[in-house]
C-alpha cells in the first residue's frame, strides 16, 4: 500500500478534504458522504499500521452508502505506518540515523508487517489525552506497539484527529481495528449508550464488550471529552494472522453491509436527544 493507493481509497469513499498531515508529511484525508450538516458520524480506520485492511473496508462501505445523513470516513489515520507495514522502510527517504532508529525499535528486523505505531514508534491509539499512560499494556519508549508517546497528543496524526472531532460536527465516532469480531463501548466511568452499542454489535454478529483497561485511544478521548457515543469495532476473525488476509475482504464487506445506515440512525437519534 503506497501513498497514492491511500489517496485513491479516500477518493473512492467520497468527497475528500484534508485535515492534517502525517509525521512524514502525507496528507490525512476525510471523505464526506451525505449532506453537510452537524450531528453526523465519523468513522476512522487504520489507526494501527498493520490493520490497513480497514482502509479498504471503509472505502468500500462509504462508496456503497447512499444515505443523506452525513458520514465522514477517514480510511487511514496512520498512512506512514500503513506504508511502512506494507512496503518496508525503503518506501521512505530517511536520514541514516532515522532508518537505524526504526530498525532498533523493530528489534533489528526489516520486516515491519506487524508494526502498529506511526513512523517514530508511537502507538496512536494510546497517544490521546484520555487516561494517557494508564493503560495496562502501555510502554514508555518507542516500540512497534503500545508506546504512548512523550506526552498526550504529541503526534501530528493524533492532533489532526483531535481537531476533526473538535469541529462539533459529529454525534457518533467509530474507530475500526482488526481483529476479534468485537465491539467495544464505554470508557472509564462512562457507560452511556449501551442500547446503541448493543444494536451495532448485534447487527454485525460481533460480541459487545465493555472497554477494558486500555487508555489513550481515539474513541476513549471522544467519549471522555464529548460524552457522546464512541465505539471500537474489531473486524475479522481471530484465527487469521496480522495483517488480516486481503482475500477475506469481500467477507468483511458483506458482514458490514448497511452498517453505515445504522450508524446514521444512531447519530440522528443521539443528536436530537442530546442535552
Does residue 179 belong to the site contacting Zn ion (CB under 5 A)?
no
- The CA distance from 245 to 255, in Å, is 16
Would you tell me how many other CB atoms lie within 10 Å of the CB of residue 21? 16
**Least distance between Zn ion and beta carbon 243 (Å):** 11
Binding mask 21-50 for Zn ion (x = CB under 5 A): ---------------------------x--
Looking at beta carbons, which residue is closest to Zn ion? 177
Stretch of 95-103, 155-163, 170-178, 184-192 lying at the interface with Zn ion (CB under 5 A): 170-178
Closest CA to 29 of 59, 78, 82, 74: 74
Residue 184 or 263: which CB sits closer to Zn ion? 184
Residue 101 or 113: which CB sits closer to Zn ion? 113
Binding mask 234-263 for Zn ion (x = CB under 5 A): ------------------------------
**Least distance between Zn ion and beta carbon 141 (Å):** 20
Q: CA-CA distances (angstroms) from residue 90 to 82, 111, 125, 275?
A: 13, 11, 25, 51
DSSP codes, 214-259: --S-HHHHHHHHH-S-EEEEE-S-TTS-SSPPGGGHHHHHHHTTTH
- The CA distance from 249 to 251, in Å, is 5
Stretch of 28-36, 51-59, 192-200, 242-250 lying at the interface with Zn ion (CB under 5 A): 51-59
How many residues interact with Zn ion (rule CB under 5 A)? 3
Stretch of 53-61, 140-148, 174-182, 192-200 lying at the interface with Zn ion (CB under 5 A): 174-182
Residue 237 or 258: which CB sits closer to Zn ion? 237
Residue 81 or 186: which CB sits closer to Zn ion? 81
Phi, psi angle pair for 182, to nearest 5°: -130, 155
- The CA distance from 203 to 189, in Å, is 26
Does residue 177 belong to the site contacting Zn ion (CB under 5 A)?
yes
Strands 182-185 and 207-210: parallel
Strands 182-185 and 230-234: antiparallel
Stretch of 26-34, 90-98, 147-155, 175-183 lying at the interface with Zn ion (CB under 5 A): 175-183
**Least distance between Zn ion and beta carbon 261 (Å):** 24
Termini Cα distance of the chain = 43
Closest CA to 263 of 39, 52, 78: 39
Residue 74 or 270: which CB sits closer to Zn ion? 74
Residue 51 or 224: which CB sits closer to Zn ion? 51
Residue 48 or 56: which CB sits closer to Zn ion? 48
Q: Which residues of the shown chain bind Zn ion in the complex (CB under 5 A)? A: 48, 51, 177
Amino acid at each position: 500500500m503506497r501513498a497514492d493507493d491511500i489517496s485513491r481509497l479516500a477518493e473512492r469513499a467520497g468527497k475528500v478534504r484534508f485535515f492534517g498531515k502525517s509525521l512524514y508529511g502525507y496528507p490525512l484525508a476525510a471523505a464526506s458522504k451525505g449532506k453537510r450538516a452537524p450531528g453526523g458520524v465519523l468513522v476512522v480506520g487504520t489507526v494501527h499500521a498493520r490493520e490497513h485492511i480497514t482502509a479498504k473496508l471503509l472505502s468500500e462501505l462509504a462508496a456503497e452508502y447512499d444515505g443523506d445523513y452525513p458520514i465522514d470516513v477517514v480510511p487511514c489515520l496512520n498512512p506512514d505506518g500503513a506504508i511502512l507495514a506494507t512496503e518496508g522502510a525503503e518506501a521512505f527517504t530517511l536520514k541514516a540515523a532515522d532508518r537505524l532508529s526504526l530498525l532498533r525499535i523493530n528489534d533489528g528486523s526489516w520486516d515491519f508487517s506487524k508494526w502498529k505505531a506511526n513512523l517514530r514508534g508511537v502507538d496512536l491509539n494510546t497517544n490521546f489525552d484520555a487516561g494517557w499512560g494508564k493503560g495496562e499494556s502501555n510502554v514508555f519508549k518507542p516500540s512497534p506497539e503500545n508506546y504512548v508517546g512523550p506526552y498526550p497528543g504529541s503526534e501530528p496524526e493524533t492532533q489532526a484527529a483531535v481537531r476533526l472531532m473538535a469541529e462539533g460536527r459529529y454525534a457518533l465516532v467509530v474507530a475500526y481495528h482488526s481483529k476479534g469480531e468485537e465491539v467495544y463501548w464505554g470508557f472509564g466511568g462512562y457507560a452511556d449508550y449501551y442500547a446503541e452499542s448493543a444494536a451495532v454489535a448485534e447487527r454485525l454478529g460481533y460480541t459487545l464488550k465493555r472497554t477494558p483497561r486500555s487508555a489513550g485511544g481515539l474513541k476513549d478521548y471522544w467519549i471522555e471529552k464529548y460524552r457522546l457515543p464512541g465505539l471500537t469495532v474489531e473486524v475479522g476473525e481471530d484465527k487469521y494472522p496480522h495483517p488480516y488476509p486481503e482475500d477475506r475482504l469481500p467477507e468483511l464487506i458483506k458482514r458490514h453491509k448497511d452498517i453505515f445506515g445504522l450508524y446514521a440512525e444512531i447519530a440522528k437519534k443521539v443528536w436530537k436527544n442530546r442535552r
